[in-house]
Structure 1
Amino acid sequence: MSSEPLSAATAPSGDSILSPRYRATTVGMVALVSLHAFEALAVAAAMPTVATALDGLRLYALSFGGTLATSVIGMTLAGRWSDQQGPARPLWLGLACFIAGLLVAGLAQHMPVLVLGRLLQGLGAGAISVSLYVLVGRCYPEALRPRVFAAFSAGWVVPSLVGPAISGLIVQHLGWRWVFLAVPLLALPAAWLLRPALRQVQTRTQAAAPGNAVVRWAAGAALAALLLYVGGQQTGLVAAALMLPATLALLLCSWKLLPAGTLQLRRGLPSVIALRGIAASAFFGCEAFLPLLLQRERGLSPLLAGVALSLGALGWFSGSWFQGHQGQGWSRRQLLHAGALLMCGGIIATALALQPGVPLWLALGGWTLTGLGMGLIYPSLSVLTLSLSPPAQQGANSSALQLSEALAVATTLAVSGSVFAMMLGVDVVLGYLLIFGVMLGLAALSVVVARRV
């Protein structure tokens, strides 16, 4: 029996991702993506209340950075296991860790216990995300993959619009614990829909688990990311003493974990994987500081600042939908180049919000353009990674794609946060300009790297 029963060779040309043979798999995967997105956004909205209730403001930053760090381990292990044994085992183990982390966090009586739950969540979320990518590669023909990744983007958009508001209602009327405890009730039925597809793509030849060397490098990257995140919250010599060795350790671990040539921007797959980290850093770096800018410098309420972020999410979804349905015959390289240029223009327009005389709609339009560019880039890189990978390496390369993002974004946020904190006592406007300048430089680098895929 073939390990790819739903391959491009057997897929009818008129199939869609919601045709009977794919419907349960599509719904299950998008539901898991949506639940992960809702949990991430809802927790972000509820965490100030959680930290106050558990007297844990000192661990506030670690409760966010920890999930990103441990996701590196989950991604690495899931990628190797998926190639060796199929995506079923890493997905179920990832789901178990994710749910266990939610239960630990939801029942925590002290902040350190909640942080432990968040670390488990990150481990599971990383494994789930890579397993889903491999499942797309094994189950869907190449022509349908852009639409699957567009559906994944849609699975993030709705939670980004309603997640914080729903989280506020849950915290107000049910208590913050239900922000964590409600998600497992929906995650299990969603994963259950994937059982038939996971059985079909299960690799028949069982191989050994990932080697100890891979596990050590992944753990080292996670610890370095945590140290970098903690260092970013410090100031002066303490910050430098923590961040410098952490950055060097991250570079070494990245060199060991990512495909050869990624850090050198070698043409082909290495540039595809590198571009994911570069473009994601530019987008999420801006997103981290935009609400602060809009509230502190332009006087917007938290609600309206959240609406501004939603415009970026809508732009992202629009770009993702276009790349999956466009009939103009644009190549993936053209889509990447156009997306990177849109990000450059969007970041410039967004940064104009620093000038009081600039109409706010111009900055918000710029952020929508930035999201539109990411919508063209993000799923295109996922499609290219699967297309450029033989089936036996889809797990490792999907893992590398997401590792590139996690490591690059963690580094960018930690460094930019440290720079901004340093500039608070000197010139706040200059601090914003430095941050947006760095993100614009990353977007411009994306234009260059997009030509190398």
Structure 2
Amino acid sequence: MFLTGLAALAVIPTLPTAARDLDGVSLYPLVAGCFVAASLLGGVLGGHWADRAGAQRPLAAGMVLAVATLLVSGASTSIWQLAAGRFLDGLAGGMVAVSVNTAIGQTYPDHLRPRVLALMSTCWIVPSLVGPPLAGLVAEWWTWRVVFFGLAALTALPALVVVAVLRGPAWAARKAPTEDRSPRPALMIATAVSLGAALGQYGVSGWDIRHLLFAAGGFALLGVFASRLLPPGTWRAARGLPATVLLCGLGSGVFFTLEAYVPLLLVTDRGAPPLVIGLAFTGAALAWAGSSWLQGRLPAHRPRHHLVVAGALVQAVAVTLAIAGTLPATPEYTAASAMVLAAVGMGVYAPSLTVLSLTHSPPGQQGQASSAMQTTQNLGQITVLGVASAVFNAGLAAGLPAPAAYGAAFGLLLAPCTLAVLLAARTARTAPR
């Protein structure tokens, strides 16, 4: 998980430079969106593979693929090769993330799962602190290719160790989990969802007819196929796992939309120095890890859906801060603090939903639950960010000043926060009396 976080965060500052050097700036939105789109497919494949054969096999395959795809990206001679590398990287990342969560569900007892999930969150602290600035310095002093090759070198030895350990007699003698007898989504469905996500990411990056057509096609594919990857009743928030999966997407969409637009607001409208933006990302990482650590040590009898409500309310306050940060009379730190506060909410919100999803999953089907959570997390990012981007671009096209357009995009985020608060009781382990 540490290596996954380092690779995911370190390459972000290098992608614009790579796109420029490869004469592919016009296709940069596609490169940036490939990772999230492929994570959908990787999560589906990894989850069902883990249910059939245990979490260790997709984990090993994901780590080996991660090394290979970093080499592909680092050796890119065209923007399309870089996009392919990012797509494969998302595929590997989705498989690893789902495999880790499935392994927790298959191995740890219920009362230890919150602490293990908190440990997984802390694995992102150091990558978030050193990954982006270090990668930016390497790309500036040498070349962006060194970032990819260096990450591949760091990941290669642990990947080989994992493969060697999992091929040993201790693991070979273990009995595989109960075979999943439920219908598995066809590869075509997962591929269609991943393609729809990629088209949607590209389409919302512009406001001309071409981008609108791409966005319409992408979201049409998501509308037709995405529901087949999710538990029945997800869109109507049926009690238990469906509601839990839905709320995962809502919360993730709110947080990552703030993470995308608050820095843009600070740079383009408030004239904030890079130090402020860097401190906002660092503070958000520490806040997420700290609140996740705290929720892992709350009394076991504390109802988990109460923590979901608390996390959603904190996110709503963060959205309000972001709206206030668009006003010229407020200091630039107002908007920056919204990212930190939103991370506090997610540190409580996300692990609580993961614990509930594993609780709602029958033995041998934790992989499906983890896959569904990964799918809605990515769908939430794409959908909420896409709608917010459409609102923002529409405001600019209508002649609104930039602060008002930002405010409208942020105001939209209050809707998923409110829905999460209202629907949290449906995620409870037992129906409320």
Is 1:218–2:190 an aligned residue pair? yes
Paired residues of 1:86 and 1:202 also in contact (CA < 8 A) = no
**Secondary structure in 1 aligned to 2:110?**
coil
Q: Which residue of 2 aligns with 1:336?
A: 308
Is 1:273–2:245 an aligned residue pair? yes
Q: Which residue of 1 aligns with 2:425?
A: 451
1:430 deviates by 2.2
Change over 3 Å in CA distance of 1:208–1:141 after alignment to 2: closer
Identity %: 35
Write the mapping of 1:21-420 to structure 2, written as runs, cut at 5 A.
33-191=1-159, 192=161, 195=165, 199=171, 203-204=175-176, 214-327=186-299, 329-420=301-392
Using the size of structure 1 for normalisation, the TM-score is 0.87
- In 2, the alpha carbon distance for the partners of 1:360 and 1:44 equals 23
1:161 deviates by 1.9
1:373 deviates by 0.8
Which stretch shows the higher mean deviation, 424-433 or 284-293?
A: 424-433
- In 2, the alpha carbon distance for the partners of 1:112 and 1:249 equals 22
Paired residues of 2:125 and 2:286 also in contact (CA < 8 A) = yes
Change over 3 Å in CA distance of 1:135–1:159 after alignment to 2: same
1:215 deviates by 0.8
Structure 2: state its 5+ residue gaps.
428-433
Q: Which residue of 2 aligns with 1:20?
A: none
1:223 deviates by 1.0
- In 1, the alpha carbon distance for the partners of 2:244 and 2:184 equals 27
1:52 deviates by 1.6
**Secondary structure in 1 aligned to 2:77?**
coil
Q: Which residue of 2 aligns with 1:431?
A: 405
- In 1, the alpha carbon distance for the partners of 2:6 and 2:213 equals 36
1:363 deviates by 3.8
**Residue deviations 1:143-196, cap 9 Å, x none?**
221111111111122212221111022213342112111223222443425836
- In 1, the alpha carbon distance for the partners of 2:102 and 2:271 equals 45
- In 2, the alpha carbon distance for the partners of 1:273 and 1:375 equals 17
Change over 3 Å in CA distance of 1:296–1:205 after alignment to 2: closer
- In 1, the alpha carbon distance for the partners of 2:330 and 2:117 equals 36
**Secondary structure in 1 aligned to 2:186?**
helix
**Residue deviations 1:100-159, cap 9 Å, x none?**
111100111221111111111111111111111111112222222111111111112221
Q: Count how many residue pairs are aligned between Structure 1 and Structure 2.
A: 421
- In 2, the alpha carbon distance for the partners of 1:387 and 1:409 equals 24
Change over 3 Å in CA distance of 1:443–1:340 after alignment to 2: same
- In 2, the alpha carbon distance for the partners of 1:36 and 1:87 equals 16
1:237 deviates by 3.2
Paired residues of 2:262 and 2:335 also in contact (CA < 8 A) = no
- In 2, the alpha carbon distance for the partners of 1:408 and 1:365 equals 22
Which stretch shows the higher mean deviation, 160-169 or 179-188?
A: 179-188
Paired residues of 1:81 and 1:90 also in contact (CA < 8 A) = yes
Structure 1 residue ranges, 4+ long, deviating more than 4 angstroms after superposition: 200-203, 205-213
**Secondary structure in 2 aligned to 1:451?**
helix
Structure 1: state its 5+ residue gaps.
1-32
